[in-house]
Amino acid sequence: MLKWRNDEWNNLLDVVRGAEMSVQMNIKRQPVIQRGCFIIDPKRYTVILSDEQITLYPKEFDVLYLLAQYPGWVLSSEQIYDAIWQDDMAGGEHVVYNVICQLRRKLKNPDMIQTVVGRGYRFAE
């Protein structure tokens, strides 16, 4: 199990947030991620799976892109929520759970985003 150090977490937040930019503006500057027949293009806000474009809401896209940037890394619901929503809402882990469920349904591949019981979620390697 990979353990997060504060500096690693801060680096991850910097990647997602940018110095003073919104998540969406920072992600648009990130590279395209391709894993086999799966492509995430942050400049066009598109996800392609086996030549089929998948329609995602902005937060769904942001969560997917965050997880896909670090395949195999386990991110807790709290870490995902802090990186994407950037506020202190109580119950944020439920919001992340709902987004993960929607992503699995839309991607038609529940194994692409794996649950690590008691720890969080990871993008399959």
Q: What is the pLDDT of residue 20?
A: 40
Q: 22 and 86 in contact (C-beta within 8 Å)?
A: no
Query: How far, in Å, CA of 86 to CA of 27, rounded?
Result: 15
- State yes or no: pLDDT of 28 exceeds 80: no
Categorize the per-residue pLDDT at 109 as very low, low, confident or very high, splitting at 50, 70 and 90: confident
Q: What is the pLDDT of residue 35?
A: 85
Token pair, residue 87, equals 């506020």
Count the residues in the chain: 125
**pLDDT (tens digit, 9 = 90+) per residue, 62-90?**
999 999 999 999 999 999 999 998 777 76
Categorize the per-residue pLDDT at 30 as very low, low, confident or very high, splitting at 50, 70 and 90: confident
Q: What is the pLDDT of residue 19?
A: 38
Query: How far, in Å, CA of 36 to CA of 24, rounded?
Result: 25
Q: At residue 68, what is the residue type?
A: A
Q: What is the mean pLDDT of residues 91-109?
A: 90
Does the model's pTM come out above 0.95?
A: no
Q: What is the pLDDT of residue 17?
A: 60
Q: What is the largest CA-CA distance in the chain?
A: 39
